[in-house]
Structure 1
């Protein structure tokens, strides 16, 4: 259990952390901040000591039986609001029950900092809930999102208006003609606000270049490396980032997971699963030979030419760390309960990633007598996989390495290719 901060520590937190002042919630409303759930009483006025960075406010105004404080109600629609806080910033919103939305103070918009005196904050101190001190899990889940607000602005299109980044469980991923009641009311209040979440299109069904024919089309229909490169570039271009920057797509993967975890958003779940498939089936990007090519152990003295795509491991390493943090945040029973229909799909994708890694490491070893440097990129790839494999085995009982006959190591002389006279 985390110890309570001392008086000096509390004063330091007060000075450098933010405040969320939330008025108007009815008694018994369900509320969560960064996946820590509460049931509101009549004294509640918001949160204090909120660290700078990205935060997710989840609410569900309808009451339900019982008085549990550990989770939100299992049924019904949830809504979420994402916000970035800075040191000692004050975020002020008032809940409007008629529209199930949060209103900004009169004369301001979502981007206008609130002007609240120190005396007023001190007067509210007893009615402000302290931010949970065990924020390590949230920091891991928002590692990439905390670095830039551009992905949030792109997906929620807040760069096109001055509204909050908010949605509910049924907000469509693409603009739709028929909107739910809550979204209709929101549109009436904010007529210029576009509807729908603007995720980067993945489209795994046709994953080859437009002019690909024959063998090339077959290759890229099985191996999603070309599609991954295109999706990474599209997400980066949309945020004005460098074309080889994986940050925008990794932030999108984190955002999808948070929408699933906090709002049970089905569209975000489908996109999150598509991104899992996209990384797991992109073997050529790791340097793996084509699916029907010779295994590196069967290569002759002269190694075959490298794949037409450059070997780029950093995005896969970063994605595996992101996926590991997400798995560690999921309930241990999630793949037998809520996500049971998707377990086989995810396990198959991870098995394919493991097979691609084994062939990629074998190909790398065949071209290099010894590793270059103490921690070559392939070693980071192996370590990221080991961390992921250990995490899912501990939480879900998945044995990701059981289906393969060999463990390929980049720093083991025994893994060098063997030349066999035929």
Structure 2
């Protein structure tokens, strides 16, 4: 995105409406060569770049990776992203902070500064690239369940979604005598364990954590019998209902918004934690047979969400990442088996059958293979319970 870019490929009426109603991101001082994108499109910043115009109002994901100077090899750094909720005709102003290698949006709180930019918008226009309208449909399909409020509640308090974890020592040793008590590093380690023990214990910096729903470690209720534990290990409905009750009691379909948030963080933000949470949520949803019977709308929505998440991804994308240990095919195999069982809503069953046929054709996945669940289930017994 060297300067701006034309709108020749955009419908004239759409272009006019976005020109009049669209929001504007004015991003000053972004170094040349920085990889910067909004939603599902990214570019390398050119020397004339000053921001993005004609952005449809609503939720968007701005993401960027700083770059070293050519003399240092021009290496691209880890990605940083943030969710933005933009209003019609809004101007959001940010300056590049060279020290932090990040965008500083504090200028947007200065009404006088924003008014000055708005007054000079015509002069700035040739340096603003138009929003990549060709990806709008895809972006909406990936986030249609994700509200502004939900995204704000899930992203870190810092407002930044980072591809790397910002970690600090669990215990700060401010005084010399405190550090003196720690294991010395001036002698050779006798084992890998000793070496690891010498490393300082780290934790994620407060305010930088993604605020996902906590999935219970135990999938069964307190005081459950061994038979109940086994049942709750095969049907995860108790654990799923616990997550819904704690986080989305009034709006259970917001769980699908969280699934979309995690996927976007992984797909566009390169956040592996997003993939891990997406994987755990998906397993919870797909292996909750009783909840499938009770919450038809949740599962009709899940099929649509997965259709769009998997629909625009190249088939080989899943070879090394998403289908680790055959995760995705085995999880969906469980889902298709449960949803075809007795007592399921006929509309849900038919929708699932169509989705299964679509995936089989697109990815050549075999959902008819023998399930691996036939092995004995190992359950954790409550404290004090023994089996003779």
Pick the TM interval, shorter chain.
0.7 to 0.9
Paired with 1:142 and 1:113, the residues of 2 have a C-alpha distance of 32
Paired with 1:340 and 1:214, the residues of 2 have a C-alpha distance of 32
Contact 2:91 2:118 in 1 (8 A): no
Paired with 1:112 and 1:251, the residues of 2 have a C-alpha distance of 36
The equivalent of 2:244 in structure 1 is: 232
Give 1:322's match in structure 2, choosing from 292, 300, 305: 305
Stretches of structure 2 that go unaligned for 5 or more consecutive residues are 1-6, 173-204, 372-388
**After the TM superposition, which residues 44-193 of structure 1 pair with which residues of structure 2 at under 5 Å, given as runs?**
44-62=49-67, 76-106=77-107, 108=109, 114-115=114-115, 118-134=118-134, 135-145=136-146, 148-158=147-157, 165-171=159-165, 177=170
Do the aligned partners of residues 257 and 12 (structure 1) sit closer, same or farther apart at CA in structure 2, a change above 3 Å counting?
same
**Secondary structure at the counterpart of residue 84 of structure 1:** strand
Do the aligned partners of residues 207 and 214 (structure 1) sit closer, same or farther apart at CA in structure 2, a change above 3 Å counting?
same
Paired with 1:340 and 1:227, the residues of 2 have a C-alpha distance of 24
Stretches of structure 1 that go unaligned for 5 or more consecutive residues are 66-72, 180-186, 188-192, 237-242, 288-310, 365-377, 405-422
1:380 has 2:347 as partner: yes
Q: Please list the CA deviations of residues 67-123 of structure 1 after superposition, one character each: whole Å capped at 9, or x if unmatched.
A: xxxxxx9x75111111111111111111212112211244828x9994456542222
**Secondary structure at the counterpart of residue 109 of structure 2:** coil
Contact 1:90 1:116 in 2 (8 A): no
Give 1:199's match in structure 2, choosing from 178, 199, 212: 212
Paired with 2:169 and 2:151, the residues of 1 have a C-alpha distance of 20
The equivalent of 1:350 in structure 2 is: 332
Question: Normalized against structure 2, the TM-score is what?
Answer: 0.76
Q: Please list the CA deviations of residues 375-410 of structure 1 after superposition, one character each: whole Å capped at 9, or x if unmatched.
A: xxx243134324532443344222435769xxxxxx
**Secondary structure at the counterpart of residue 336 of structure 1:** helix
Do the aligned partners of residues 7 and 83 (structure 1) sit closer, same or farther apart at CA in structure 2, a change above 3 Å counting?
same
Return the structure number with greater relative CO, CA threshold 8 A, min gap 6.
Answer: 2
Structure 1 position 252, deviation (Å): 1.1
Paired with 1:175 and 1:20, the residues of 2 have a C-alpha distance of 33
Structure 1 position 261, deviation (Å): 0.6
The equivalent of 1:304 in structure 2 is: none
Paired with 1:393 and 1:286, the residues of 2 have a C-alpha distance of 22
Structure 1 position 333, deviation (Å): 0.9
Contact 2:10 2:133 in 1 (8 A): no
Paired with 2:358 and 2:101, the residues of 1 have a C-alpha distance of 38
Contact 1:321 1:384 in 2 (8 A): no
The equivalent of 2:251 in structure 1 is: 245
Paired with 2:113 and 2:350, the residues of 1 have a C-alpha distance of 43
Count of aligned positions? 330
Paired with 1:175 and 1:316, the residues of 2 have a C-alpha distance of 40
Report which stretch shifted further, 119-128 or 20-29: 119-128
Structure 1 position 55, deviation (Å): 0.8
Give 2:21's match in structure 1, choosing from 16, 24, 43: 16
1:263 has 2:280 as partner: no
Higher helix proportion (structure 1 or 2): 2
Question: Normalized against structure 1, the TM-score is what?
Answer: 0.70
Structure 1 position 316, deviation (Å): 1.5
Paired with 1:64 and 1:327, the residues of 2 have a C-alpha distance of 37
Contact 2:40 2:138 in 1 (8 A): no
1:25 has 2:24 as partner: no
Contact 1:327 1:391 in 2 (8 A): no
Please tell me the root mean square deviation across aligned C-alpha atoms, in Å: 3.2
Paired with 1:258 and 1:43, the residues of 2 have a C-alpha distance of 29
1:210 has 2:222 as partner: yes
**After the TM superposition, which residues 272-351 of structure 1 pair with which residues of structure 2 at under 5 Å, given as runs?**
272-287=278-293, 311-342=294-325, 344-351=326-333
Paired with 2:113 and 2:258, the residues of 1 have a C-alpha distance of 26
The equivalent of 2:343 in structure 1 is: 363
Paired with 1:224 and 1:112, the residues of 2 have a C-alpha distance of 55
Contact 1:31 1:38 in 2 (8 A): yes
Paired with 1:53 and 1:230, the residues of 2 have a C-alpha distance of 31
The equivalent of 2:234 in structure 1 is: 222
Structure 1 position 358, deviation (Å): 1.3
